[in-house]
Amino acid sequence: MPTAGPPPRRRVTMSDVARRAGVSATTASFVLAGRTDMRISEAARQRVQEAARALGYRPNAIARSLRTRSTRTIGLVSDTITTTPYAGEVIRGALEAARDREHLLFITETGGDPGAEPGLVDALLDRDVDAVIYAAMYTRTVAPPPQLRGRRVVLLNCLAPGFCAPSVVPDERGAGRTAARALLEAGHREGVWAVGGRGLAHRPPDGLLAGHDRLRGLTEELAAAGAALAGTSECGWEADDGRRAVAELLARGGPAPRALVCATDRTAFGAYQALADAGLRVPGDVSVLSFDDQDFASWLRPGLTTLALPHHALGRAAVDLVLGGPRPLAPEVHRVPVPLRARGSVGPPAAGGGRVHSPGADGERQGRERTT
Amino acid sequence: MPTAGPPPRRRVTMSDVARRAGVSATTASFVLAGRTDMRISEAARQRVQEAARALGYRPNAIARSLRTRSTRTIGLVSDTITTTPYAGEVIRGALEAARDREHLLFITETGGDPGAEPGLVDALLDRDVDAVIYAAMYTRTVAPPPQLRGRRVVLLNCLAPGFCAPSVVPDERGAGRTAARALLEAGHREGVWAVGGRGLAHRPPDGLLAGHDRLRGLTEELAAAGAALAGTSECGWEADDGRRAVAELLARGGPAPRALVCATDRTAFGAYQALADAGLRVPGDVSVLSFDDQDFASWLRPGLTTLALPHHALGRAAVDLVLGGPRPLAPEVHRVPVPLRARGSVGPPAAGGGRVHSPGADGERQGRERTT
DNA sequence: GTGAAAGCGCTAACAT
DNA sequence: ATGTTAGCGCTTTCAC
């Protein structure tokens, strides 16, 4: 005796529909697939549709896939992307695009363990995904596992030299230029420091690409205006790193910085703290600009002006490309624009040369006033 | 290593393996499935394994699924879960558990549009997922779509009255008690305010469950110590809401608050700002405690003491339950502990009666407090 | 011990 | 204009 719950649901199949409509499975298949390349009488079509609706028919995607070799499914394999605060956005962008194209998305993550990768990719391939998106948390070069060769793959937020697949990455160089322009427009021409981003100054594949390209864009644009970076303070990516780096920057001798270009919003957060500790105001004494646009950027006072890494657009673009791109895919790199979110942290440089805030209630600071 | 060369031509199938091993597909199937309930000679077993390895054989999961009706796949359907900063953690927890059990995870999201839900669920069901996890961004009551009835479902971070499925939610009431205890242990007995969380005081299903249960735990535990909440300041969930609510709280007459229990880290962030604006120090003048444990909680100065909503554990538990739980699943609610992350924002109450500090000159504000 | 044969539910040549 | 037949790659009786 079955339980009182839902009826013992034998799934309704296409031949159930065909039988009820009084046609063959073939005919049913054609009308249900909405195909027109075979002539079906209007009457038959009606009966099939009607039967399908009456029976609550839903095609079995598994059976269909076995036959067609297409699962309408795509796999996302990432290092530790779900860990990062912006990951949600790339996943959401990918999800939206996948939904528009009636595909479902498998998400996997190696958790940073490269040894886990082959197993995950095999699991995806075993399930016959139509395509895979290989994603990295930070823009960098990667080496996708060999099983992926010859498959339909797009690289998200990474570049894979020697692996024939397109990449979708933020336009870091453009972002750097935009950053420079924002500063230039506010009147900054000197005392501009780059802070944060280990490997900021290295070139790929040793450092992160993001840092290298950004810095290039930044310096290029500055140079075009006859200006230059006053210096670079390398440090980690976190708030604490930024705070320490900026504290040291302020403590060292020399002309005071007028603008800080931080590698991440997190380092900018730390920069705000260090600046406040020194009694310096943003943007009155020092302008701050960064990259990411995490949500807290708008909560800070003043709001943090930052270049919004286009996570959502990246996710969307990757899926659109992998599903809708040419066959085979061309191994180009697609650079997605990085818009500026202008908030209050960039302003005109302090009038009268950079000086370190004079001693106040906060405590004695050495008079280190200098003109540049 | 088998395939080092060009892309796989025709996929190698089980009968390829069988042929090479000189056995039937049946035999190959048994040894490859590792089954022992049929006697296979050791020699045959060896040959099959060897052939499979040599050919780089991988079973076709689609074909297998069609036969076995099990896809080793699970679907996650959520409202806008990927949008929230903690979503990454629940996904990661779910991913880990799924991987341990050799399942793959489909992620879908309605984007808050309830009209999108049936389509998404159908897409999942069409692909024959073994189970689905129905998740909500904030703990609340939900009404899963009818197609899900009778399926193997677990509710993640939500409760569905009238829908027979287990739920996995944070132990909000316990969290409230823990919060109270932390305050009590620091010596707080009066001037404790609850701030933030629209619907904090409402009972389900009108308000968010989280708020109701938390508040209950908080008041219960306070009551057990003979203390009570000084009041509740309802407001939204964001930093700005918290800032305004606390500013008003401070501006109104009456005894000054000694401790603030904020609904989210974001409101606590705003509370820090309002407190700093009023020249009040944390925790010297006012203790602050909140819920979430977002990453910035540790960057604030002082570090924010908060109850860490167990997102990762929630994701794991949901998958473990849906895959490993009894058949059928019992509609119980599983409450996951919410650990306290003690940082610096809770301290002993200010000595002497609380008076609202009158804001002095701008220079009187401590730089460090202005940061937030 | 092992293999032949029958499907799982669907699509696509090839008939009529 | 519609039906027949043959698989897709695998599992699983059941017979030898």
B16-68 pLDDT, tens digit each: 999 999 999 999 999 998 888 878 888 889 999 999 999 999 999 999 999 99
Kindly tell me if the per-residue pLDDT of A310 is higher than 70: yes
Whether B110 and B132 share a structural domain: yes
Residue type, B208: L
pLDDT tens-place string over residues B115-131: 999 999 999 999 999 99
**B209: domain range?**
172-304
Helix (H, G, I), strand (E, B) or coil at B105: strand
Least Cα distance to A118 among A98, A140, A146 occurs for A146
The tens digit of pLDDT for each residue in B307-364 reads 999 999 999 999 999 999 999 999 999 999 999 999 999 999 987 554 444 444 343 3
pLDDT at residue A5, as a whole number? 39
Q: What SS3 class is residue B124? A: helix
**Average pLDDT of A367-372?**
28
User: Å from B33 (CA) to C5 (C1')?
Assistant: 20
Q: Mark yes or no for CB contact B82/A92 under 8 Å.
A: yes
Testing the interface with A: which of B10, B92, B316 to mutate, by most A Cβ within 10 A?
B92
Tracing tokens 């341990």 back to the chain, one arrives at B100
Residues B106 and B176 in one domain: no
Q: What is the structure's pLDDT at A9?
A: 59
Same domain, A185 and A134: no
- Indicate whether B40 belongs to any domain: yes
Q: How confident is the model at residue B198 (pLDDT cuts 50, 70, 90)?
A: low
Q: Are residues B262 and B326 in the same domain?
A: no
Distance from CA of B189 to the nearest CA of A (A): 31
User: What is the C-alpha to C-alpha distance for residues A119 and B12, in angstroms, rounded to an integer?
Assistant: 18
Mean pLDDT over the full length of chain B: 88
Give domain status of residue B347, yes or no: no
Give percent of chain B with pLDDT exceeding 70. 88
Task: Count up the domains in chain B and report the number.
Answer: 3
Q: Confirm whether B353 is domain-assigned.
A: no
State the DSSP string of A217-254.
HHHHHHHHTT----EEE---SSHHHHHHHHHHHHHSSS
Task: Give mean pLDDT, residues A197-201.
Answer: 55
Q: Is the CB of A38 under 7 A from strand D?
A: yes
In a domain, A66, yes or no: no
pLDDT value of position A132: 97
Give the domain CATH number at B247. 3.40.50.2300
Q: Do A207 and A273 fall within a single domain?
A: yes
Within an 8 Å CB–CB cutoff, is residue B149 touching chain A?
A: yes
Q: How confident is the model at residue B206 (pLDDT cuts 50, 70, 90)?
A: very low
Residue B214 and residue B234: Cα distance in Å, rounded? 14
Partners of B6 on chain A (C-beta within 8 Å) are: 150
Q: Which pLDDT value is given to residue B356?
A: 46
Buried b / exposed e along B178-203 (16+ C-beta atoms within 10 A):
bbbbbbbebebebbbbbbbbebbebe
Q: Is any atom of nucleic acid chain C found less than 7 Å from the CB of residue B298?
A: no
Q: Is residue A97 part of a domain?
A: yes
Nucleic strand C under 7 Å from the C-beta of B24: yes
**Cβ <8 Å between B3 and A146:** yes
Most confident of A206-220, B118-132, B229-243: B118-132
Q: What is the mean pLDDT of residues B258-270?
A: 95
B137 and B122 co-located in one domain: yes
Residue A196 and residue A236 in contact, taking contact as beta carbons nearer than 8 Å: yes
Asked whether residue A70's C-beta has any atom of DNA/RNA strand C within 7 A, the reply is no
In terms of phi and psi (left: phi > 0; alpha: psi -120 to 50; beta: otherwise), the region of B254 is left
Distance CA A273, CA A270 (A): 5
- Which nucleotide comes closest to B42 if you measure CA to C1'? C1
CA A189 to C1' C1, whole Å: 85
Residue A24, nucleotide of least CA–C1' distance:
D3
Confidence of residue B197 (pLDDT cuts 50, 70, 90): low
- A204 Cβ partners below 8 Å, 6+ apart? A140, A141, A159, A212
Number of A/B CB contacts below 8 angstroms equals: 155
Around Cβ A204, how many Cβ atoms within 10 Å?
Answer: 17
CA–CA dist B117, A32 (Å, integer): 22
Buried b (16+ CB within 10 A) or exposed e, B96-107: bbbbeeebbbbb
Question: Which one of B282, B304, B326 terminates a domain?
Answer: B304
d(C-alpha A346, C-alpha A327), whole Å: 46
- Interval A237-247: pLDDT, tens: 899 999 999 99
Q: Could you please report the per-residue DSSP string of A106-146?
A: EEEE-TT-GGGHHHHHHHHHHTT-SEEEEEEEEEEE----G
Residues in CB range of B117: below 8 A, 6 or more apart: B77, B110, B145
Chain B contact for A6 (CB, 8 A cutoff): yes
- Rounded CA-CA distance A160/A141 in Å is 5
β-sheet bridge partners, residue A324:
none
Query: B103 and B31 in one domain?
Result: no
Contact A91 B111 (CB under 8 A): no
* Cβ contact B150–A240 (<8 Å): no
Q: State whether B296 and A239 contact (CB < 8 Å).
A: yes
Confidence of residue B139 (pLDDT cuts 50, 70, 90): confident
Q: In this structure, are B160 and B246 located in the same domain?
A: no
Distance from CA of B359 to the nearest CA of A (A): 15
Claim to verify: residue A78 and residue A159 sit in the same structural domain: yes
Enter the DSSP assignment of B65. Answer: H
Residue A156 belongs to a domain: yes
A positions 102-121 inside 8 Å of B (CB): 102, 104-109, 111, 116, 120
Chain A residue with the nearest C-alpha to that of B74? A106
Q: Are B184 and B225 in contact (CB under 8 A)?
A: yes
Closest residue to C3 (CA, C1′): B24
- Interatomic distance A279 CA / C14 C1' (Å): 86
Instruction: Tell me the β-bridge partners of A168.
Output: A156, A334
Collapsing DSSP states into helix, strand and coil, what is residue B220? helix
The verdict on A219 touching B (C-beta cutoff 8 Å) is no
Higher local confidence (pLDDT), A60 or B234: A60
CB contact (8 A) between residue A146 and residue B367: no
| B331 and chain A in contact, CB less than 8 A | no
Residue B131 DSSP class: E
Q: Is A95 within 8 Å of B108 when comparing Cβ atoms?
A: yes
Kindly state whether A61 is in contact with chain B, defined as any CB-CB distance less than 8 angstroms.
yes
Nucleotide in closest CA–C1' contact with B27: C2
Helix (H, G, I), strand (E, B) or coil at A318: helix
pLDDT for the residue numbered A364 = 36
Retrieve residue B315's tokens.
């994701």
Segment among A1-15, A267-281, B33-47 with least mean pLDDT: A1-15
Residues A39 and A83 in one domain: no
Give residues 299 to 318 of B whose Cβ lies within 8 Å of A: 299, 301
Task: Tell which of A13, A90, A126, A365 to mutate to test the B interface (max B CBs under 10 Å).
Answer: A126
Residue nearest the C1' of D5 (CA based): A26
Instruction: Look at residue A368 in the predicted model and tell me its pLDDT.
Output: 32
For strand C, is any atom closer than 7 Å to the CB of B71?
no
CA distance A120 to B98: 11
Q: Are residues A182 and A156 in the same domain?
A: no
* CB B272, CB B282: distance < 8 Å: yes
Single residue among A261, A280, A304 that ends a domain in this structure? A304
What's the pLDDT tens digit per position in A115-144?
999 999 999 999 999 999 999 988 888 999
Contact A299 B270 (CB under 8 A): yes
Instruction: Give the tokens for residue B187.
Output: 């010596």
Give contacts of A125 with chain B, Cβ < 8 Å.
58
Asked whether the whole model's pTM tops 0.95, one would answer: no
What tokens were used for A285?
Answer: 């004494």
Q: Which residues contact A114 (CB under 8 A, 6 or more apart)?
A: none
Q: Residue B367 pLDDT > 60, yes or no? A: no
Which chain D positions have some atom within 7 A of a protein CB?
1-5, 7-14
Identify whether A361 is part of a domain: no
Neighbours of B311 (CB within 10 A): 25
Paired tokens of B38? 């049929």
pLDDT level of residue A4 (50, 70, 90 thresholds): very low
Closest CA to A118 of A104, A132, A105: A132
Is residue A355 situated within a structural domain?
no
Look up the CATH number of the domain holding residue A36: 1.10.260
Residues B278 and B324 in one domain: no
Name the nearest CA neighbour of A218 among A304, A310, A289.
Answer: A289
The rounded distance, in Å, linking the Cα atoms of A52 and A18 is 9
**B268, B228 in Cβ contact below 8 A?**
no
Do the strands B192-195 and B167-170 form a parallel or antiparallel pair, or are they unpaired? Answer: unpaired
Compare all CA atoms of chain B with the CA of A274 and give the residue at the minimum distance: B368
Distance in Å from D10's C1' to B116's CA comes to 34
d(CA B226, CA B249) in angstroms, rounded, equals 24
The single-letter DSSP state of residue A188 is: -
Strand order in B287-291's β-sheet? Answer: B231-233, B192-195, B259-262, B287-291, B305-307, B340-341
Residues of B in contact with A128 (CB under 8 A): 60-62
Hey, what amino acid is at B289?
L
